[in-house]
Copies of this chain bind each other. A is one copy, B any other.
């Protein structure tokens, strides 16, 4: 960890102020960037390991993002690399289900995806935040084309089956009315002197002016049926053209019913650091990243290879695996080093001779439960009827999320929604169902938001991550207490073995966590390999 508070005895802030005051903005920017402040990140760019020791070999377990990043970079440095992958495809949770794909879950149910050409869902990750520079950097290097992912849509629905008689509300009305009421209440407290101990008189005036504009308050600092409020929440009758085109204003929800509805709960989601705009997605599905890595790595990846034992000694690492195309078969791979990216939910069931600290860490981490359901409909009724172009509707029903495609607007063919993104206890209930039952449940619940569902439904697929044979769950569920006890032990080298993956990061569930943990792991691997056995 580099020091973020001091630079050669001078605080960074003082240094910056000095540079800013004695030179132009370009110098200021250069200084900020080189000190890592403008960049706000510990990301130090793509790895540049230098040359591998002659003949050094690395065995990588798992061709997900972490494993393939490690393979890609280690090969570049000159290591002889082999990757063992359980599935018949690369990517792991980086995965796009398209028409023609099949998927068999634990329990033996096989689904055949029947989406039309070009339509898909991403059962795993589906968003790329602008600050995830590792995974974005590989998109650029590998030529994976990106497009905007729309998280927030002011015209999407917020739904509670307990509020407003079950009638969904537009995001824009809930947002405008929450801001409006908050603004009005704070303006009233300010103008009646109730903030006198908190805020100077001068700042009170500035605060009032800001609240008026921010909250769409009228000249008396009230939030009410008005041009200002309607220009946020929408009109009862929109402004038009020609004669009889005058708009009619809309009436805000009352504070009490708004608070009761709890629909305000989703308002901050687009403010969260990982879900702030701009978000991006690969054109054609998140799986394009894994597919690009797989093309790049070619025969380095051995598919359908199920690891059954990992053994290390002073001379190297030996991994035994089964070729799943020939059940019962046994093969062996050997290398100087091993980067193991197998999810801990699975790794915990594989014999591996690591010390107690790492073994305890592997055993300690529970995995989150999640279910995603893709629904194909005969037409894009959400655009045609509801004018929803991308974005997400939220509900307090178990499906929680209905996400609309961020591309292909105005398409005349069929369309695919993410019809459910189920979490926690509800996800375990969905996991216990058959795939067909899950789809039926998503349809029954989604109909409360989109009554067009029954008439327009075509087909669906449902991925329950706890029934995924290659992860047995969605992602590692760290708590602060678990991190304090196990995280460093999980990440530290154990002899010739190092772990990587989202579970070995502070970015759980994100591909960026997989990338950065791989970078950190191979950096330490390389330092060990080149220091002739010294424990770096």
Contacts and interface: CB of A to CB of B under 8 A. Distances in A.
B25 A447 contact: yes
B272 A241 contact: no
A439 B246 CA distance: 39
Contact of A524 (B242, B245, B268): B242
Given A40-B238, A521-B242, A199 B185 contact: yes
How big is chain A's contact interface, by range?
A: 35 or more
B214 A488 contact: no
Interface of A: 1, 4, 17, 20-21, 24-26, 28-30, 33, 37, 40-43, 130-131, 133, 136, 139-140, 145-148, 150, 152-155, 165-167, 172, 175-176, 178-179, 182-183, 185-186, 188-189, 194-195, 198-200, 203, 206-207, 210-211, 213-214, 216, 230-232, 234-248, 250, 255-256, 259-260, 264-265, 267-268, 271-274, 276-278, 280, 385, 387-391, 406-407, 409-410, 447-448, 451-452, 454, 488, 491-492, 500, 504-507, 512-521, 524
A477 to B, nearest CB: 16
B199 A195 contact: no
Contacts of A153: 130, 277-278
Contacts of A145: 410
A154 B279 CA distance: 10
23 contacts: A20-B165, A40-B234, A41-B238, A43-B240, A130-B387, A131-B155, A147-B148, A148-B390, A150-B278, A154-B271, A179-B271, A182-B186, A182-B214, A186-B189, A189-B189, A231-B272, A232-B268, A241-B500, A241-B513, A241-B515, A241-B517, A241-B519, A242-B500
B406 A241 contact: no
A432 B146 CA distance: 41
Contacts of A207: 185, 255, 259
Nearest to A451: B26
A183 to B, nearest CB: 8
A241 B277 contact: no
Contact of A206 (B41, B213, B259): B259
